[in-house]
Amino acid sequence: MTVSQISISSEGPTFSRLVKGMGSSTRWEIGPNKMLDMITECIYMGITTFDNAAIYGGGEAEKLFGDALALNPSLRDRVQLVTKCSIGNFGTSLYHRDTSKEHIMGSVDQSLKKMRTDRIDVLLIHRPDPLMDADEVAEAFAELRKSGKVLHFGVSNFTPSQFELLASRLDFHLVTNEVEISVMHLDTWYDGTLDMCQRLRISPMAWGPLGGGRLFRDDTEQTIRLLKELGQIGEALGASIDQVALAWLLKHPARIVPILGTGKIDRIRSATKAESLELSREQWFRIWVASTGERLP
C-alpha cells in the first residue's frame, strides 16, 4: 500500500499523507545503516516526509538521520525534512524557550549541519514562547527564506491567536501548525485550531495520533470505551484498531497529516492502509462519543 501526496498549503510544500516522526529515533537503538533501511522502506511505502526537531534525542536524532542520509545522498531529493527549534536548555540549567533571531538562525545552521543537507523544507517554532517578539521571528524567517536555507515555515503547539500574531508579520504564509490530535485528544476541535486551518486552507500536522501509545497502554474509562468502539468498527471494515484511529483523523476536511512515532516497519506498513479506509459519518461519530463519554447534545 502506497500513501498519497498532498500540498499542505496554497504555497506548498507537498507532503506524504502520513509523516514519519523521528522523536523516538535515538531510543530505537539503531545506527545509520539501520536508519537508512527505515528511510528507504518508508519512501517505498510513499512516506517521504520526516518530522524532526533540534531537541529530539538531545540533538542526536537530527545527526542520526543525517548520518543515514549521507550513506545515500541521492535520497535527499526524494524526501521532505521538517525540523523545529526554540525549546531546550541552551547551555543553562533551566529548560526554557528561545525564539530570538539569534537562536533561530543558529539552530537552523546546526540542523543543516547535523542532517547534512543544504536546506530544510519546513522549519517550525517548536512551542510558543511567552517572550516571543513576532517582528524578530519574522525577520529571522525572511532571512532564512531569502538565503534558501529554509523553504517554508510553520509552528507547533500554537493557539490560533498565537499563530495569527506571527502570521500577521510575514509576507508569506505559515504552512502548518503541528499539534496533538487523536481519538483521545480533541482539544483542537474546541480551541479553534482546526477551524483556523480550514479557513486558511493549511493542513495541520498531528503528533501523538495514537495518543502516544496510551490508547493501548492506559486502562482509563476513555480508553476502554475507545478500544471497544474502534475494535467493533475495525471488525466491520476488516481493519485494525490503529488503522481505524488514523482513518478517523484522515477523514477530517482540514486534511490532518498524522505523524507516526513507531520505529517498527511492520506497524508503519500497517498504518499505510488507513488511507484506504472510508468511515461512514455514523462510525466517525461513534468514535467521538466513545472518546467524550457523552451523547451529543
Task: List per-residue pLDDT tens for the chain, 297 residues long.
Answer: 899 999 999 999 999 999 999 998 888 788 999 999 999 999 999 999 999 999 999 989 999 999 999 999 999 999 999 999 999 999 899 999 999 999 999 999 999 999 999 999 999 999 999 999 999 999 999 999 999 999 999 999 999 999 999 999 999 999 999 999 999 999 999 999 999 999 999 999 999 999 988 999 989 999 999 999 999 999 999 999 999 999 999 999 999 999 999 999 999 999 999 999 999 999 999 999 999 999 999
Residues 177, 207 contacting (CB under 8 angstroms): no
Grid cell in block for residue 88? 531546550
Grid cell in block for residue 110? 546546526
Other Cβ atoms less than 10 A from the Cβ of 11: the count is 13
Q: What is the DSSP letter of 185?
A: B
Distance CA 242, CA 248 (A): 10
Q: What are the phi and psi torsion angles at 93 (to 5°)?
A: -85, -10
Residues 149, 108 contacting (CB under 8 angstroms): yes
Active site residues: 56
Question: What are the C-alpha distances in Å from 171 to residues 84, 117, 143, 145, 288?
Answer: 21, 26, 12, 11, 38
Distance CA 252, CA 229 (A): 19
For residue 28, what pLDDT is reported?
Answer: 78
For residue 275, what pLDDT is reported?
Answer: 97
Please compute, for residue 196, the number of CA atoms within 13 A of its CA located in the half-sphere on the CB side. Answer: 21
Question: What are the C-alpha distances in Å from 293 to residues 30, 101, 284, 288, 289?
Answer: 41, 45, 14, 8, 6
Other Cβ atoms less than 10 A from the Cβ of 288: the count is 16
For residue 67, what pLDDT is reported?
Answer: 97
Range list of H helices, the chain: 32-44, 60-70, 101-115, 134-147, 160-167, 187-190, 193-200, 214-217, 221-237, 241-250, 265-271, 281-292
Residues 257, 8 contacting (CB under 8 angstroms): yes
- What CATH architecture applies to the domain 5-218+250-274? Alpha-Beta Barrel (3.20)
Contacts of 163 (CB under 8 A, 6+ apart): 155, 174, 177, 196
pTM: 0.97
